[in-house]
Amino acid sequence: MNPGPRDWPDVRKVFEAALPLPPAERRAYIVAACGADRALADRVEALLTAHERADDFLATPAPITEVITTARMEGKRLGPYQLISCIGAGGMGEVYKARDTRLDRTVAIKLLPAHVAHDSQARARFEREARAVAALNHPHICTIYDIGSSNGLDFLVMEYVDGATLRGPMSSEEALRIATQMASALAAAHRQGILHRDIKPGNVMLTESGVKLLDFGLAKAMDAGTDVTFTGAGMLVGTVAYMSPEQAQGCRLDARSDIFGFGAVLYEMLSGHRAFGGTTMPHVLSAVLRDDPPPLWPSSPLEPVIRKCLAKQASERFQTMAEVIHALELVVMTPVQEAPSIAVLPFTSMSPEADNEYFSAGVAEEIINALTQLDGLRVAARTSSFSVAGKSIDVGEIARCLNVGHLLQGSVRRAGSRVRVTAQLVDASKGFQIWSERYDRDLADIFDVQDEIARAIVRRLRWRCHQRRGPARQSDDHEHGGIPGVSQGTGHAL
């Protein structure tokens, strides 16, 4: 299945053409490009899968050809370890689920890339650093059990972690719980003089027992005399979007570089997107070096911690993970304020004319339309609120049925060219009327009355509302469109 020297030019040609395509279009292109050569198509797809698993490594230390040289190792044996299935691949080697036949346990095996295995100095350094990481004993760090060599392949034996990788967005409470465990793990590593250097969501596993920080494969013993960012011929290691500025610039690193990566991951946990984005690697690097991520929305009490972690200058960040942990302990989670909710009931007709029933219902419906233009206010649908019309139910029961906290009810009386509208706002949980008003106007001013009622409701609910951006109203609706006093696209404290 591995491409040999004769196959590689064809594999590479199709791979490089397919890679820029959207994922949904790659399969069709590969089928068309490979024709009846199913083996070629399989090789290209395997290479694309390995590339995706590498998760945005920039100039990975191993050439991309090395990612597939050990492919299809399932079922083979390395010493006492029986390889079961490949569970990950990247520039720092492939990872397999395996069985330790001596101790009868499931483990993870990482096959070291050839550039490490074939370089005696790099191999000795890797073994030395692996021993340092293996000495870490922490419940939130994936344990290294062994390092070995078999059949010409060098490998690490690690704890097999069964769980899901970190994905956002999530609540501030959940993010705080996970972040505290991550910080504890990093603090333990730093105390032993070990940097992680590749903190990213893919290296954080969520298990039933909590967080596991994975893949210290890029980890490096802290040494003031050693440049720990570049490997080999000046190639960056790490995942670009989570690199600290000093890591991206090839400077010497210390614990503050991991703190930056921690802040980038915490930002993504809350926002659901990367702190530093871009369509190309240079764009992402530029953002890491120069840009601040957008403010979180909704805001979070964790944001000040994140901002300090992501300071461009290392001297302006937290200086140790112990400081980060202390800052997390001081975060106070304020209860989320529930958005106010209201149902507008059909207004009662107080006039004998039959058509006044429709007119009164129209007044209530227009008030519903006006209120639904406001962000942060939950308004019961017309069909729901009008369904209780004429029923002998108390306000508390109506509110429970409609799942709202407030009710607006009222009446309409027409006499010639004049109209009288009365409205009452009721706090359904307490059964109290919290606002009422009577409007005596010319019939032509009825739309102004509707807007005034909506505006008064917003004031009484004390909610910061935003008028939603949407398509412009038709000209024949202009007279009663919007709510005066609430500016489009801006907050207005009422």
Examine the residue annotation and report whether 198 is marked as an active-site residue of this protein.
yes
The architecture in CATH of the region 341-480 reads: 3-Layer(aba) Sandwich (3.40)
Report the pLDDT value the prediction gives residue 173, as an integer from 0 to 100.
92
Q: Where are the domains of the chain?
A: 1-53, 57-160, 169-329, 341-480
Instruction: Please pick, among 55, 100, 198, 215, the residue that the annotation labels catalytic.
Output: 198
In this prediction, residues 96-124 reach a mean pLDDT of: 85
Report the pLDDT value the prediction gives residue 337, as an integer from 0 to 100.
58
Say if residues 379 and 368 touch (Cβ distance below 8 Å): yes
pLDDT digits (tens, 9 = 90+) for 167-220: 888 999 999 999 999 999 999 999 999 999 889 998 999 999 999 998 775 556
Region of residue 21 (phi > 0: left; psi between -120 and 50: alpha; otherwise: beta): beta
Q: Which of 68, 188, 89, 209 has the alpha carbon at shortest distance from 133?
A: 188
- The model's confidence at residue 233, banded by pLDDT at 50, 70 and 90, is very low
Percent of the chain with pLDDT over 90: 35
351 class by beta-carbon count within 10 Å (0-12 exposed, 13-18 middle, 19+ buried): middle
Two tokens, residue 74: 């399932």
Average pLDDT score over the chain = 79
Assigned superfamily of 57-160: Phosphorylase Kinase; domain 1 (3.30.200.20)
Answer yes or no: CATH 1.10.510.10 is held by domain 169-329: yes
pLDDT digits (tens, 9 = 90+) for 420-433: 999 999 988 778 88
**Cα dihedral 387→393→395→399 (10° resolution):** -50
pLDDT digits (tens, 9 = 90+) for 274-292: 999 887 778 888 899 999 9
How many helices (H) and strands (E) the chain has is answered by 16, 21
Query: Alpha carbon 141 to chain centroid distance?
Result: 23
Three-state SS at 11: helix
Region of residue 341 (phi > 0: left; psi between -120 and 50: alpha; otherwise: beta): beta
Computed from CA positions of residues 367, 370, 372, 378, in that sequence, does the dihedral angle turn out positive or negative? Answer: negative
Report the pLDDT value the prediction gives residue 62, as an integer from 0 to 100.
40
Residue 305's contacts (CB-CB under 8 Å, 6 or more residues apart) are 263, 266, 324, 327, 328, 331
Pairwise pLDDT comparison (86 vs 407), residue with the higher score: 407
Compute how many other C-beta atoms are within 10 angstroms of the C-beta atom of residue 37.
14
Report the pLDDT value the prediction gives residue 336, as an integer from 0 to 100.
53
In this prediction, residues 39-45 reach a mean pLDDT of: 79
